Amino acid sequence: MSKEEKKVNRRDFLFTASYTVGAVGVGAVIWPMIDQMNPDKAQQALATTEVDISSIEPGKSITVLWRGKPIFIKKRTSEEIAEARAVKLDDLPDPQKDEDRVKDGKDEWLVMLGVCTHLGCVPLKDKGDFNGWFCPCHGSHYDVSGRIRKGPAPTNMEIPKFEFVDSNTIKIG
């Protein structure tokens, strides 16, 4: 009996070892098949864009394309900044201070991903109940800081990584 058991155990070991090596092998083949669908080098190469912002008037905004997505660059008036900062954090579904959405000392410049955080449509400017943006797809309202106020979108519009190269140029990405 014990002799037989020992034999079975040896075979079990071989089975387990074979399955393990087989699984690793299958995984090693499957991963490239999956990863090939991720953004390729050419897509990643588009990671930064420089934008000249010298011609934007206060209260106006421009839209530029970065990584295939629109970026809203808005030069806000002092009234608009004041309005954004007067909002109580309790009134926000995704509480975030306006100060945290802009660069220190460059409070007039709002640079954000012009993509509704619901299902990815591009919100329309100067529309909606909060003086900011309104997404026509499923009715999300954003305020003048790009924060979600009403509708199905779960979070504020995203702020991309960006920096001021000089006072007239920003680099996104």
Partner 1 sequence: MSEHEYTPKSKAGKWFNDRLPLLTLGAHLTDYPTPKNLNYWWTFGGILTFCLITQIVTGIVLAMHYVAHADLAFASVEHIMRNVNYGWLIRYIHSNGASMFFLAVYIHIFRSLFYGSYKSPREVIWIIGLMIYLLMMAAAFMGYVLPWGQMSFWGATVITNLFSAIPLVGDSITTWLWGAYSVDNPTLNRFFSLHYLIPFLILGLVVLHIWALHVPGNNNPVGIDIKKPSKDTVPFHPYITIKDAFALLVFMIIFAGFVFFTPNVLGHSDNYIPANPLVTPAHIVPEWYLLPFYAILRSVPDKLGGVILMFSAIFILFVLPWLDTSKVRSAVYRPIYRQFFWILVIDVLVLGYVGAMPAEGIYLVLARVGTIYYFLHFIVVMPVVGFLEKTDPIPMSISEPVLSGGAEPSVARKVNEKI
Tell me if residue 141 is catalytic. Answer: no
Instruction: Tell me: does residue 43 bind partner 1 (CB under 8 A).
Output: yes
Figure out which of the listed residues 63, 78, 168, 169 binds partner 1, where binding follows CB under 8 A: 63
Figure out which of the listed residues 10, 16, 19, 39 binds partner 1, where binding follows CB under 8 A: 39
CA distance 95 to 109: 20
- CB nearer partner 1, residue 41 or residue 88: 41
CA distance 152 to 41: 34
- Token digits for 164? 């001021």
Figure out which of the listed residues 2, 38, 55, 167 binds partner 1, where binding follows CB under 8 A: 38
Q: Which neighbouring-strand residues pair with 131? A: 143
Q: Please identify, among the stretches 2-10, 15-23, 31-39, 77-85, the one whose residues bind partner 1 according to the rule CB under 8 A.
A: 31-39
- 100 Cβ contact partners less than 8 Å away, ≥ 6 residues apart: none
* Contact letters for partner 1, residues 67-106 (x by CB under 8 A): xxxx------------------------------------
CB of 56 to partner 1, least distance (A): 17
Closest alpha carbon to 141 in 78, 85, 91: 91
Which stretches within the chain are classed as H helix?
2-35, 41-44, 78-86
Which residues form the catalytic set?
138
